């Protein structure tokens, strides 16, 4: 198997099965991606249909208002009709581009499912050859971009665009136009991988599979519908905003009392009101004057405090006094609050999750509400205290661990509680090379010079890992053991001598992590297809 020696028939069969397996993985990933784009496309179509119905109702409402109150709504209703006309024209144009894409790619609706077979729509050449010529747009590509640009300019013109100040000429539409311009930002885009500036059409459509471009067109149609909805709603509300200054009010929730017991129904009122930044002249609380000299905040609110009563519901009342028109204005108030009994159960929580991990110092917060830390005692196998209410739990064996807590109350009585946590093993890390994982493509230089890394993905703990050994297998050759986290000379030579499209597997990746006292599973392998 090594060097230029002969490969046994069994090894040849293993190598062939391996290549077929890798090809199947790549094919499945591709199908998943195509199906995902297809699902996006289907969602856009559904949303666009609903948006069309909404927009039709809004247009009809504006037209009705224009007949009833022409002096208030005739102008905006006319704008809405213009927007509807240009939007419908552009929407239908995008629909024609979608039909052309299906026709050019010979894509048809599946007669059994009634939908397109997204997994077959993988061609990238349809629009690449039709809309682009090298790095430039073709004549059809220029036409497509011109139609998109025309729609943007038409909407700006209808709203009223001030080119000198680069904003809407009517102050009421400034924000709406800013949102619209962001939605239809047609400026050149920068490729994040190459840093190269690309034409908007190139960035969004060139090199993508047919289903991705098809879904993108539906997304643009959705942008059209959303633009209509936003503007129609704005037109309907213009006159109302001027007539009623509700924007100066806030919704205020007034609970019946300040605490509720488990099983009770919440009762209260939701009202519309304003907070008056006015300093009160006097405050009477429970029939006694309240000193306001140091109790008024920047909003004019009075900060009150008093000792609460026994367990149960209580009511307190008073009078706010303000000076208005040279006279005292008394505003009475009344509020309820509830005093709850002293605590009899502990609050025990794992700071990371509802489980603890074997071999790790799992941080925990343990406390009894209302009981000081020096009168609270917690115990469990592997538990140690590190601060005020702070502990670490380092479980070693078993599948569960019980944390027992005892608190001493002010009267000397004790209360006890306990919590059971599941113990889980640390998950397997993920191997990486050149910052990539799974099945990837790289050139020989990147494979030979890059470090082999491993991390735990989105694991709840941020563990600092290091790779101390791994194996490299090039198609048709024996595995090469490597110490450290970089390819040795033998592995580099095997990579450099391999032909293009060879498969390189980096596996048996052994990992250490700081603060972990148990053996970490080997990291998931990385499969590399050589591009040169």
What distance in Å separates the CA atoms of residue 216 and residue 185, rounded to the nearest whole number?
A: 14
Instruction: Tell which wins on pLDDT, 230 or 321.
Output: 230
Examine the pLDDT at 384 and tell me if it is beyond 70.
yes
Consecutive H or E run containing 84 = helix 70-104
User: What is residue 278's predicted lDDT score, i.e. its pLDDT?
Assistant: 56
| Percentage of the chain modeled with pLDDT above 70 | 78
Average pLDDT, integer, range 365-369: 82
Average pLDDT, integer, range 378-401: 91
What's the start-to-end Cα distance of the chain, in Å? Answer: 23
Residue range 352-365, pLDDT digits in tens: 567 899 989 899 88
Q: Which two tokens stand for residue 236?
A: 């309907």
* Cβ atoms 361, 515 nearer than 8 A: yes
Burial 319-349 (b: 16+ CB within 10 A, else e): ebebeeeeeeeeeeeeeeeeeeeebeebebe
What distance in Å separates the CA atoms of residue 419 and residue 404, rounded to the nearest whole number?
A: 7
Residue range 38-77, pLDDT digits in tens: 787 888 888 889 989 989 999 898 889 889 888 878 888 8
Residue with tokens 């303000």: 322
Report the range of poorest mean pLDDT among 75-89, 318-332, 381-395, 469-483. 318-332
Give 264's Cβ-side CA count (13 Å radius): 12
Report the range of poorest mean pLDDT among 201-215, 232-246, 336-350. 232-246
Average pLDDT, integer, range 14-34: 50
User: What is residue 176's predicted lDDT score, i.e. its pLDDT?
Assistant: 85
β 414-424/452-455 pair status: unpaired
The Cα-based distances of 45 to 35, 39, 222, 320, 520 in angstroms read 15, 10, 8, 58, 48
| Domain 430-530 CATH class label | mainly beta
DSSP secondary structure string for all residues of 345-414: S-EEEESS-SEEETTS-EEEEEE-TTS-GGGEEEE-TTEEEEETTEEEE---SSSEEEEEEEEE-TTS-E
Instruction: Tell which wins on pLDDT, 300 or 196.
Output: 196
What distance in Å separates the CA atoms of residue 122 and residue 53, rounded to the nearest whole number?
A: 33
The Cα-based distances of 266 to 255, 257, 272 in angstroms read 8, 9, 19
The Cα-based distances of 444 to 452, 486, 491 in angstroms read 14, 14, 11
Average pLDDT, integer, range 256-285: 63
Report the range of poorest mean pLDDT among 206-220, 327-341, 484-498. 327-341
Which residue, among 47, 48, 54, has the nearest Cα to 230 in the 3D structure? 54
Examine the pLDDT at 492 and tell me if it is beyond 90.
yes
Total-model pTM: 0.43
Residue with tokens 């024209």: 89
Examine the pLDDT at 333 and tell me if it is beyond 80.
no
Q: Which two tokens stand for residue 274?
A: 């304003």
Examine the pLDDT at 116 and tell me if it is beyond 60.
yes
Examine the pLDDT at 324 and tell me if it is beyond 50.
no
Residue with tokens 């993988």: 122
| Percentage of the chain modeled with pLDDT above 90 | 38
Report the range of poorest mean pLDDT among 185-199, 246-260, 382-396, 517-531. 246-260
| Same fold for the pair 347-424 and 430-530 | yes
What distance in Å separates the CA atoms of residue 364 and residue 419, rounded to the nearest whole number?
A: 12
User: What is residue 283's predicted lDDT score, i.e. its pLDDT?
Assistant: 77
Examine the pLDDT at 343 and tell me if it is beyond 70.
no
CATH superfamily of 347-424: Immunoglobulins (2.60.40.10)
Examine the pLDDT at 338 and tell me if it is beyond 70.
no
Q: How confident is the model at residue 315 (pLDDT cuts 50, 70, 90)?
A: confident
Examine the pLDDT at 504 and tell me if it is beyond 60.
yes
Average pLDDT, integer, range 2-20: 50
Residue with tokens 């000076």: 323
What distance in Å separates the CA atoms of residue 34 and residue 29, rounded to the nearest whole number?
A: 9
Domain ranges within the chain, ordered by starting residue: 17-243, 250-339, 347-424, 430-530
DSSP β-bridge partners for residue 366: 348
β 400-408/414-424 pair status: antiparallel
Mean of pLDDT over the chain: 81
The Cα-based distances of 309 to 284, 313, 314, 319, 430 in angstroms read 19, 9, 8, 21, 59
Please give the radius of gyration of the chain, using alpha carbons only, rounded to the nearest integer. Answer: 35
Q: How confident is the model at residue 94 (pLDDT cuts 50, 70, 90)?
A: very high
Give whichever of 106-120, 243-257, 360-374, 449-463 has the largest mean pLDDT.
449-463
Instruction: Tell which wins on pLDDT, 159 or 114.
Output: 159
User: What is residue 380's predicted lDDT score, i.e. its pLDDT?
Assistant: 93
Residue range 169-184, pLDDT digits in tens: 776 787 888 889 999 9
Residues near 511 by beta carbon (within 8 Å), at least 6 away in sequence: 429, 454, 465, 466, 467, 468, 520, 522, 523
> Under DSSP, is residue 118 helix (H, G, I), strand (E, B) or coil?
helix
Q: How confident is the model at residue 331 (pLDDT cuts 50, 70, 90)?
A: confident
> Under DSSP, is residue 301 helix (H, G, I), strand (E, B) or coil?
coil
């Amino acid at each position: 198997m090594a060097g230029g020696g002969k490969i046994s028939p069994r090894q040849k069969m293993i190598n062939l099965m391996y290549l077929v397996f890798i090809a199947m993985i790549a094919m499945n990933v591709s199908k998943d991606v195509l199906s995902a784009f297809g699902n996006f496309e289907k969602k856009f179509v559904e949303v666009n249909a609903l948006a069309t119905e909404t927009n039709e109702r809004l247009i009809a409402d504006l037209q009705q208002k224009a007949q009833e109150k022409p002096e208030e709504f005739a102008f905006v209703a006319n704008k809405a009709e213009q927007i509807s006309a240009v939007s419908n024209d552009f929407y239908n144009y995008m629909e024609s581009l979608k039909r052309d894409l299906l026709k050019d790619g010979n894509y048809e609706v599946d007669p059994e499912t009634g939908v397109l077979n997204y997994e077959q729509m993988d061609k990238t050449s349809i629009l690449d050859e039709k809309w682009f010529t090298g790095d430039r747009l073709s004549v059809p590509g220029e036409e497509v971009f011109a139609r998109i640009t025309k729609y943007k300019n038409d909407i700006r013109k209808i709203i009223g665009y001030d080119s000198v100040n680069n904003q809407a000429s009517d102050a009421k539409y400034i924000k709406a136009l800013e949102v619209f311009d962001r939605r239809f930002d047609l400026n050149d885009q920068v490729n994040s991988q190459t840093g190269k500036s690309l034409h908007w059409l190139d960035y969004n459509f060139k090199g993508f599979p047919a289903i991705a471009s098809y879904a993108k067109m539906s997304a643009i149609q959705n942008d059209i519908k959303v633009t209509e909805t936003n503007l129609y709603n704005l037109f309907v509300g213009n006159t109302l905003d001027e007539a009623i200054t509700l924007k100066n009010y806030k919704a205020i929730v007034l609970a019946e009392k300040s605490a509720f017991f488990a099983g009770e129904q919440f009762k209260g009122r939701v009202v519309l009101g304003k907070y008056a930044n006015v300093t009160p002249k006097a405050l009477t609380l429970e029939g006694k004057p309240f000193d306001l000299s140091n109790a008024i905040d920047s909003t004019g609110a009075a900060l009150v405090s008093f000792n609460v009563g026994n367990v149960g519901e209580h009511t307190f009342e008073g009078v706010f006094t303000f000076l208005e028109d040279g006279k005292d204005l008394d505003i009475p108030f009344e509020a309820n609050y509830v005093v709850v009994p002293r605590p009899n159960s502990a609050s025990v929580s794992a700071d990371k999750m509802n489980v603890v991990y074997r071999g790790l110092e799992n941080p925990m917060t343990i406390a009894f509400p209302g009981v000081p830390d020096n009168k609270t005692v917690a115990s469990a196998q592997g538990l140690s205290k590190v601060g005020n209410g702070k502990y670490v739990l380092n479980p070693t064996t078993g599948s569960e661990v019980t944390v027992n807590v005892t608190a001493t109350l002010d009267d000397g009585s004790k209360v006890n509680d306990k919590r059971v946590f599941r113990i889980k093993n640390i998950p397997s890390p993920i191997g990486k090379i050149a910052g990539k994982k799974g099945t990837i493509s790289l050139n020989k230089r990147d494979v030979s010079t890059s470090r082999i890394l491993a991390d735990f993905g989105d694991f709840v703990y941020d563990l600092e890992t290091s790779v101390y050994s791994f194996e490299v297998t090039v198609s048709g050759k024996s595995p090469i053991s490597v110490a450290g986290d970089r390819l040795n000379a033998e592995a580099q030579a095997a990579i450099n001598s391999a032909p293009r499209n060879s498969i390189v597997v980096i596996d048996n990746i052994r990992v250490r992590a700081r603060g972990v006292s148990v053996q970490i599973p080997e990291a998931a392998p990385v499969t590399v297809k050589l591009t040169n």
